[in-house]
Chain A
Amino acid sequence: MADFQIILGWLGLYAPMALGAIGSIMGCAIAGQAAIGAMLDTESGYGRYVGVSAMPSSQVIYGIVIMFTLNRPVTVDNAPGLFAIGVLAGCALLFSAWYQGQCCASAIHASKAKPEIFGLSIAPAAIVEGFAVFAFIFALVISAGIPGLAS
């Protein structure tokens, strides 16, 4: 049982990074395809399409920071905490990146036909980013209560 708990602890340690990366891969791939598609249909504005399509990459950075914050010797005492925070924060980052990618794709698709709405069209993606930031900040805050961090 103790070994299993230790495994869960390690899983939680790496989960924010891995799940955040998966989310960013999915989000950037979706938005990136929309950007390439838009380039085929327009004569200008390529740079901003590519810029928007990179928005979901921030989640992997949040994941890396959470992973380093959680990083400590894994013991039976702190493994459940590491697992819970790591996996839940990772899931939040994964889904936020995924759906942010969809928002970015829609923004690119919409602003292609109506360039004047470009700024406003990325607002939904920014709101989704806000939720990822919540998950990130509170993972950092709550991780301070997990035992085992060297002082």
Chain B
Amino acid sequence: MHKKNQYTLLVSSLPQHKRDLFDSEHTPVSEIQLNKRLQWLDEEDARDLALINEVLYWSTMAQSSDDDFVQHASRYLPQVSNEFFRRMIMWRLEMRTLIAALRHRQQGVVPTGEDEVKGFGRWPLMITRNWQQADFGLGRHFPWLEEAARLIDEEQALALEKLLLNLVWQQYERQGFGHYFDFEAVVIYVLRWDVINRWRQCEAQAALERFNRIVDQCMLQVEHD
């Protein structure tokens, strides 16, 4: 079967994503079902998907330092055999570099040397040199950067997450153009599924916080009575 139609069966068996990320009340397919379908991937493609997850999954690296993450991703990235995926991963890693720099700046960190900012892609040096500018002088390349900086400064975590997830969602949609039934389409589907899943988890977290607030208020009322 031609590469372009290699995964027609797999892609067709998956429910489509909604156009707008925030219209999705839940993931279009359960994790169990998705993993069952992904067993149809051939060995090499399954390995590539695992590698992509290895590089991108924030949750596996959440407890690590920037240095650890840079080393981890740098180790796995060259093993991804497909140039399309390497570019896609690099886009995400550049985005994370920018967000990490914004967060460091908000915490009052000031880079002392030119190699102080750890990250990926073309921008670490530029970020260091323009540390005090709201958008690191990169607003022309990343129009969303100024808004992200504002949200970080105002500590609006949920709004920031919404902005970033929506950017990623739209970027995947653009990157998926022209890929309908090939491996790229499968990977983009899985990555978009992850984005929805993360957004749903954000909401779950917000709901839990709200629940805890209500419980605290009730407990205070009980104590007063």
Interface residues of A (CB under 8 A from B): 26, 29-30, 33-38, 40-41, 101-102, 105-106, 108-109, 112-113
* Complex interface: chain A residues within 8 A of B180 (CB): 102, 105-106, 109
* Complex interface: chain B residues within 8 A of A30 (CB): 1, 5, 8, 181
Chain A at the B interface: mostly helix, strand, loop or mixed? helix
Contact between chains at A105 and B15 (CB < 8 Å): no
Contact between chains at B5 and A40 (CB < 8 Å): no
Contact between chains at B15 and A41 (CB < 8 Å): yes
The distance from the CB of B14 to the nearest CB of chain A, in whole angstroms, is 7
| Number of interchain pairs (Cβ within 8 Å) | 54
- Ranked 4 nearest A-B pairs via Cβ: A37-B12, A37-B13, A33-B9, A33-B8
Contact between chains at B15 and A37 (CB < 8 Å): no
Known A41-B14, A105-B180; further 17 A-B contacts with Cβ < 8 A? A30-B1, A30-B181, A33-B12, A34-B181, A36-B9, A36-B13, A37-B8, A37-B10, A37-B13, A38-B13, A41-B13, A101-B5, A108-B12, A109-B180, A109-B181, A112-B12, A112-B16
Please give me the residue from chain B that is nearest to A30 by CB atom. B5
**Interface residue B195 (Cβ < 8 Å from any Cβ of A):** no
* Complex interface: chain A residues within 8 A of B10 (CB): 37
- Can you list 16 A-B contacts (CB < 8 A)? A30-B1, A30-B5, A34-B9, A37-B8, A37-B9, A37-B13, A37-B14, A38-B13, A41-B12, A41-B14, A101-B5, A102-B181, A105-B181, A109-B12, A112-B16, A113-B16
**Interface residue ranges of B1-45 to A (CB < 8 Å):** 1-2, 4-5, 8-16
* Complex interface: chain A residues within 8 A of B1 (CB): 29-30
Interface residues of B (CB under 8 A from A): 1-2, 4-5, 8-16, 180-181
Docked pose: A29 CA to B2 CA in angstroms: 11
Q: A29-B1, A105-B181, A106-B180 are in contact. Are A34 and B8 (CB under 8 A)?
A: yes
Docked pose: A37 CA to B14 CA in angstroms: 8
The distance from the CB of B203 to the nearest CB of chain A, in whole angstroms, is 24
Contact between chains at A36 and B12 (CB < 8 Å): yes
Please give me the residue from chain A that is nearest to B15 by CB atom. A41
* Complex interface: chain B residues within 8 A of A108 (CB): 12
Docked pose: A26 CA to B8 CA in angstroms: 12
